[in-house]
Amino acid sequence: MKLTRRNFLAWAGIAATGAIACDLFDDELRVQSPVDIPEDLVSGRDNWYATYDASVPGGQGILVRVMEGRAKKVRGNPRFPTNQGKQSPAADAILQSLYHPDRIAGPMLRNGPRGAGQFRPISWEEALNRFNAAVAERGDRMLLITEPRPGAFARICDSFADAFGGRHLAFDTVDDSAYRHAVKDIMGSDGQPYHDIANAETLVSFGSDFLSTWGNPTAYSVAYGKFRSGHRGRHVHFDPRYSMTAANADKWLPIAPGAEGYAALALAWTLIEMGLAEGDVARLTNGQGAAALNAFRPDAVAGALQIPDAALDGATVAQFFAELASKLAHGGLAMGGGGAAGAYSNGRFNASAALALNYLLGNVGQPGGLLPAPDTPIPGGIDARPAPLSDWQGVASDIAAGATRLVIVHNADPVYGLPARVGLADALSNEAVAIISASPFIDETTAMADLLIPDRAALESWGDDLPDPMPGHTVYAVQQPVVNPLSDLDPRSFPDVLLNAAADLGQGASMPADSHEALIRSNIEDELGADFTEALQNGGWWNENSAGSAPPPASGLLANVAALAAPAAANGTGEFQLLPYPHHTVLDGRNAHLPWAQSTPDPITTVVWQTWVDINEQQGRRMGLREGDVVQITGPNGSITALVYLNPGMPPGIAAVPMGGGRRSGSAYATDRDARESSNVMSILAAAQVDGSGGLAWSGNRCSITPAGDSMAVAKLEGDYTSREIGEHSAELVFKSVSEEGSH
C-alpha cells in the first residue's frame, strides 16, 4: 500500500471511528452471485495497531491487523523510519510465534533428569515462590542471560542483577564484536553507523551480507531499491562467499577469506595515488600520503586477495582498482567489514579498513555517506549489546568454579549457539547450578532448566528498542501489546516478574519503575517529552533533526588501521574454508520452530527445511559428489553432516553452511529432521577469538569434507533439470545492458 502520511492518517481515522464494512449502510444487502468469488464479500471490522518486532536483524516497525481479538497479518509501518512500510522476509512469522502449538502454556517444574525436557505444570504462585527463593538465596551468584535489547528491558535486567549482586549478559549467536569495536575506536559511538545507500552513486562493500542478515537488511533493501531507481547506482562487492549480497551486486569479486581489509586499503591507496580522495589525506596519513599504504598497493596485495583473473574482465588487479576508484570518487560509499568479514582473527582490521575508507572518501555525515550513530535518547541505552566470546568463556569457568549458582535465561540460547568447545552445556549440566528459563519456547538452553516461567509473546507484550543501526537520526521504537494471550495460555511478562520479585525481596527501591509499561511510559513522557498515546499510534518516537556527529578522524587513521593488518588465522585443517552464515529466515536458529521461516526458500539455493553445504559445482563433481549426498564436515572441534548443494557460484575451496539447523529440543518444526539433513554448524567451530575484540572468529575455520556414503532428496523450490528462463527471451536477453545515464 502506497500510503503517504496523510492518507494513512485518513485510513487510521476510519478504523478508529469504526467504519462499518458492509452494505447495510445503504439499507441494502449485496447478494452473492454464484459466479462471484467469495472474496468479493468481505465482512468484519479490522484494526491496525502499530507495534515493533525486535526479533529480526535491525528490528522493524510493524502494523498488526487485529480482528475480534486475533492478530491476522503483519505489515511494515509506513511511518517507521528504518523499514518505511516494508518488511523483512519472514515478518509474518511473528504471528506463528504468537499462535504456535508448542508455546509453553504456563509455569512448569522439571521432573526428570536435567536436559531430558520433562516438566510438570505448576501454579504461578508456586513458580514465583520458587523464583524468589532462588534469587534470595543465590542472587549474588546470579547470571541473567537475555537477548540483546537496549531500552527499558535492559535497564530492568541490569537493575535487577545489580540489586542482588549478580550479572546480566546479552547473547547473540552471530558475534559482531569486532565491528562494534572498530566503530567505537574510529567513530566513538556504541551504536552502528548507518550507510546511506539510497543517496550513494557507487557502493563498494566488503564481506557483509547486508541484503540478507547484516545490519538492518530490510532498511538497507529499501535503500537499495532507491539506489537502483533513477540514477541507478553501481555496486561492487568483495566476498569469499557467494552470498545474497554478492548475487545482487553489479559486480562480485571473490577474494580469499579474511582478505576484506586488504581490498579496502588497496582501494584507499589507489584513491590517494590517483588524487581522487576527497577526505583530508594529510591528516589521515600523518602527511605521508599514499606512502602510508605502500604495503597495500593492488599489485602488492594481489597475492593475498586471490581474485581470479577471469573475474577481472581482462584487467589487472591494479587496473580494476583504478577503474573502481575513479567511480568511487563521486558519491562513493564503502560498507561492510562486519558480520562474516569481522569474524576472522583479523576481523578488527577488516572492519576498521572498511570504515576508514569512508573518511578518505570524505562522505562521513554526508548524504550518500556513512552516517554516525546519533546519541541515545533514553537512559539504559546501548550497554545491552551482545557479550563477546571471551565473556562466555568466563561464564563457563565461573560456573565450574562455583562463582555462578543461578542462571536465569530469557530468549537466548547460548547452549545451542556457542561452539561446544566453550563448554557451556557441560558447565550447566552441573546440578549445583539452578537454571530458570523465561523463554516462551523450549530450546536447547531452556530444556536444561529446572523452572520455566514463560514470558508473553512479542505481540502480547510491552517493549521498546533503540534500533541499531539508526537511520542517521534518533529513533525510539515502542512495542505495545496488540492482543491478549489465548485462554489456554498463561504466560507472564518477564520484566514484570523481575520487578515484582525485586519488590517482594525488599529491593523495589533499586528498580527503575513499578512495571515495564510504566518505565516505557516514563521514557516517552519524561525523557523524550513526547505524548504517550501518540507514540503508541506511531509505533515510536523519532527526531529527524538529530543527526549523529562523529569526532574528526584520528590523525593517522589510515596508518593506524594499516598497523592492524594481519592475515586471517585458520583454525583447524582441511581443504575447505568453513564459512557459516546466518540463514536468511531461520537466522541463527531462533526462528527454527516457525514453519514460515523454515519453508521460505533460501534465495540462492532455494533449499527449505534442511541444512546443506554449498560447494562449488565443478569442485564437487571432481570429488564425485552429487546433490543430496550426505557429507561429513569435520571442523576444528568435531563433525556434523549436511546435504551437498552444488553451487555454480560458490568459489572452490569454500564450504558454506547455514546456521539454524540441528536443534534437538523443542518444537517438531525445529527438531523432526535427523542429523543427516539438519545440523548445527556452530557446534564444531573452534572457540577462537578475534584479535583485540574477544569476539568469536566464526568465519576462521578450516574443515574437510568426506562422503558419508548416504544420500537424501534435497527439499527445494528449483527443479532438478537445468532451467532456462521462461519466455521467448533466453536469459541473456532478459537482462539488458544499459548505459551509465540510468534506466527507465
- Interaction residues for other proteins, span 674-733 (CB under 8 A): 713, 715-719, 722-732
CB of 22 to other proteins, least distance (A): 8
CA torsion through residues 448, 454, 458, 464, sign: negative
CB of 626 to other proteins, least distance (A): 17
Q: Applying CB under 8 A, which part among 78-86, 293-301, 551-559, 655-663 lies near other proteins? A: 78-86
Site for other proteins in 162-221 (CB under 8 A): 211-212, 217-218, 221
Q: Which is nearer to other proteins, 59 or 636 (CB)?
A: 59
Please report, as residue ranges, which positions from 593 to 612 form the binding site for other proteins (by CB under 8 A). 595-596, 599-601, 603-604, 606, 608-610
Quickly count: other Cβ atoms within 10 Å of residue 568's Cβ: 28
CB of 259 to other proteins, least distance (A): 15
Residues 553-572 that bind other proteins (CB under 8 A): none
Number of residues that bind other proteins (CB under 8 A): 122
For other proteins, which is the closer residue by CB, 529 or 719? Answer: 719
Q: Binding to other proteins by residue 86, rule CB under 8 A?
A: yes
d(CA 93, CA 569): 38
- Does the bond joining 469 to the residue before it have cis omega, within 30 degrees of 0? yes
Closest listed residue to residue 574, CA positions, set 658, 651, 632, 618: 632
Strand residue runs (E) in 473-608: 474-479, 540-543, 576-581
Residues in 221-240 at the binding interface with other proteins, rule: CB under 8 A? 221-222, 224-225, 228-229, 232, 234
Which sign, positive or negative, has the C-alpha torsion 162, 163, 165, 168? negative
**122 near other proteins, judged by CB under 8 A:** no
CB of 34 to other proteins, least distance (A): 7
> What is each CA distance from 616 to 120, 303, 628, 633, in whole angstroms?
49, 21, 14, 15
For other proteins, the closer CB: 29 or 726: 726
- Out of 51, 55, 77, 83, name the contact with other proteins by CB under 8 A: 83
Please state the closest distance from residue 310 (CB atom) to other proteins, in A: 5
Residue 294 engages other proteins in binding (rule: CB under 8 A): no
Q: Is residue 96 involved in binding other proteins (CB under 8 A)? A: yes
Cβ-based nearer residue to other proteins, 60 or 146 = 60
Q: What is the dihedral of CA 309, 311, 316, 318, to 10 degrees?
A: -130
Nearer to other proteins, 520 or 613 (CB): 613
Residue 462, SS3 per DSSP = coil
Per-residue binding string, other proteins, 236-265, x by CB under 8 A, is ------x-x--xx-xxx-x-----------
| Pick 35 or 432: Cβ nearer other proteins | 35
**Structure-block grid coordinates of residue 725:** 528462463
Q: Is 35 one of the binding residues for other proteins (CB under 8 A)?
A: yes
What are the start-end ranges of the H helices in 424-550? 424-428, 494-504, 516-522, 532-538
Q: Residue 635, SS3?
A: strand
Candidate segments 387-395, 405-413, 420-428, 591-599, binder of other proteins by CB under 8 A: 591-599
**Nearer Cβ to other proteins, position 93 or 169?**
93
Q: DSSP string covering 183-210, please?
A: HHHHH--SSPPEE-GGG-SEEEEES--T
Nearest approach in angstroms of CB 337 to other proteins is 21
Beta carbon of residue 64, minimum distance to other proteins (angstroms, whole number): 11
- Binding characters for other proteins, 5-34, by CB under 8 A (x = yes): --x--xx--x----xxxx--xx-------x
Q: Nearest approach, Cβ of 502 to other proteins (angstroms)? A: 33
Radius of gyration of the chain (CA): 26
Site for other proteins, residues 301 to 320, rule: CB under 8 A = 308, 310-311, 313
Among 167, 492, 584, 663, binds other proteins (CB under 8 A): 584
Q: Tell me the C-alpha distance between 553 and 528, whole Å.
A: 31
Burial of 194 (0-12, 13-18, 19+ CB in 10 A): buried
End-to-end CA distance of the chain: 22
Instruction: List the interface residues with other proteins, window 426-485 (CB under 8 A).
Output: none
* 479-to-59, 357, 472 alpha-carbon distances in Å: 11, 37, 21
Tell me how far, at minimum, the Cβ of 505 lies from other proteins, in Å: 35
Nearest-approach distance from CB 739 to other proteins, in angstroms? 9
Write the CB contacts of 13 (distance below 8 Å, at least 6 apart in sequence). Answer: none
Q: Distance between CA 343 and CA 356 in Å, rounded?
A: 18
Nearest to 561 by CA among 297, 347, 299, 316: 347
Shortest distance, position 29 Cβ to other proteins, whole Å? 13
Q: Which is nearer to other proteins, 150 or 651 (by Cβ)? A: 651
CA geometry: angle 229, 89, 662, nearest 5 deg: 140
Determine the interface stretch with other proteins among 67-75, 120-128, 375-383, 551-559 (rule: CB under 8 A): 67-75
The stretches of 565-654 forming alpha helices (DSSP H) are 595-599, 617-622
Q: Which of 47, 99, 231, 639 binds other proteins (CB under 8 A)?
A: 99
Query: Binding to other proteins (CB under 8 A): which residues in 400-429?
Result: none
Among 5, 44, 432, 709, the residue binding other proteins under the rule CB under 8 A is: 44
515 binds other proteins (CB under 8 A): no
Q: With beta carbons less than 8 A apart as the criterion, state whether 467 and 370 touch.
A: no
CB 107 within 8 A of CB 126: yes
134: CB partners within 8 A, 6+ apart:
406, 434, 436, 451
In the complex, least distance from residue 738 CB atom to other proteins, rounded to whole angstroms: 5
Whose grid coordinates read 576444528? 636
Choose which of 118, 129, 618, 706 interacts with other proteins (CB under 8 A). Answer: 618
Pick from 62, 93, 406, 703 the residue near other proteins by CB under 8 A.
93
100 binds other proteins (CB under 8 A): yes
C-alpha atoms less than 13 angstroms from C-alpha of 691 in its C-beta half-sphere: 17
> Which lies closer to other proteins via its Cβ, residue 254 or residue 369?
254
